[in-house]
Each structure stands twice: as C-alpha cells, then as structure tokens.
A and B are shown apart, each in its own frame.
Chain A
Amino acid sequence: SQTIHQWPATLVQPVGSPLSLECTVEGTSNPNLYWYRQAAGRGLQLLFYSIGIDQISSEVPQNLSASRPQDRQFILSSKKLLLSDSGFYLCAWTSSGRGLNGYTFGSGTRLTVV
C-alpha cells in the first residue's frame, strides 16, 4: 500500500533562518506531488506542485522554493524565513492521471517563525 511521510512534525525557527521540509511517498511510482500551506483561519493554499522530476510549478510567488531530487521525494525550502511563513505545511500526493481518489496528505509540519 502507498504511504506518505512528512517531517518534521513541529518546527520553531527564527526569522531569517533557512528551512527544509521533506516529504516522501512509498509504494507507488511517478506520483503527482503537492505542497500546501494552511495559515490560521485560512484555507489550504497551494504552493507548489510537481507532475514529474524537474517539473515543478509555483502557484504563489514568495520566498519559498521546491525541489524534487527523486521520483518520490519532494522538498520545500526557504533561504530566509519571514514571520508570515508561519503555518501548517502539508504535502500531498495523487497518482498520475485523473486522481479519482483525491489527494492523500502527509501528517503535516507546524512551522512557527519567531
């Protein structure tokens, strides 16, 4: 069966520090991968998505970036965090194609920038 792993679960980082969040999927190949952010009182905001290695689309211009070094690995990074980067970061995957079963989310990373 397919599983998605996301870490760390919680992170407290000072303003201006770098960020690296990792997400891996097991039990499938060539998944579509997504990074979402959920700020307090707001909906899920799509940040990046990838339909294959070296194919990453950015939905929201900001100081975050994403990379996909391997087929089932998706990394969210920042060189310098801002206070506004605080939030609940969720990685998700779906099978390539129509994704009839929807997105499956990782357990999330709660990031607090102080």
Chain B
Amino acid sequence: GQNIDQPTEMTATEGAIVQINCTYQTSGFNGLFWYQQHAGEAPTFLSYNVLDGLEEKGRFSSFLSRSKGYSYLLLKELQMKDSASYLCAVKGYSTLTFGKGTMLLVSP
C-alpha cells in the first residue's frame, strides 16, 4: 500500500518563497505528482518527477529523492492566487494515491 504525509496547513506572505514537503512509503513507485486544488474546484496538474532531482516550471519547482521517499514543491514569488491546497500523489503500479493535501494561505 501507500502512505503519504504532508503538512496540513502553511502560511506565507505575498512575494515570498514556500516549500511544501511530502514523504511517502510505497510498495511500488512509478512517479510522484503535485496538484493544485482551489476551494470547490477540481485538482489541476502542476508537476511530475520520476527520477531524482529538481524539475523546474516557471515559479514552481519540484524535487524528488527516491531513496529517502521524499519530495518537495517550491513556490517562488508567491501571489495571492496561489492560496490553495497542494496535493502530493504517488503513482503505484496502476493508480495514483493522494496525500490529504497542504492548505497554503498567502497573505498580503
């Protein structure tokens, strides 16, 4: 099975940098995904890591260490619209298992 842990809530200031951590234990690993979910909406895909290292996509970066079962999502130059829940998800043999999400609150 899969076990995924991430902080429940984080707060940050507009313009700052925030790092959201995710640790996982899995019986099969075919990649780690990050999704953004605004309140009342469906999750939207942010990033995907299957190999160790950093993947950068504009203001968002995601890092993976398979040996440590660890990933983080880095958000730079925070904007008010980044206030949302961020979901870490691990792909096993055929399906995605999601963590409970980290609610990020960005204040002015």
Contacts and interface: CB of A to CB of B under 8 A. Distances in A.
A46 B97 contact: yes
A105 B43 contact: yes
A74 interface: no
Contact of B95 (A49, A102, A106, A108): A49
Contacts of A102: 33, 35, 45, 48, 89, 96
Contacts, number: 50
B98 interface: yes
A104 interface: yes
B76 interface: no
A101 B87 contact: no
Nearest to A43: B100
Contact of A43 (B33, B41, B44, B99): B99
Contact of B41 (A42, A44, A46, A108): A108
Interface in A55-114: 59, 90, 98-108, 110
Given A42-B100, A43-B99, A105 B42 contact: yes
B95 A46 contact: yes
A51 interface: yes
Nearest to B45: A102
Nearest to B43: A105
Interface residues of A, number: 23
Given A44-B87, A44-B98, A51-B94, A98 B42 contact: no
B91 A99 contact: yes
Interface string B75-106: 00000000000010101001111111100000
Contacts of A104: 45
Given A100-B31, A108-B41, 6 more contacts: A34-B95, A34-B96, A36-B98, A46-B97, A90-B43, A102-B89
12 contacts: A42-B100, A43-B98, A46-B97, A49-B95, A59-B95, A100-B48, A100-B50, A102-B48, A103-B96, A105-B42, A105-B43, A108-B42
Interface of B: 30-31, 33, 35, 40-45, 48, 50, 87, 89, 91, 94-101
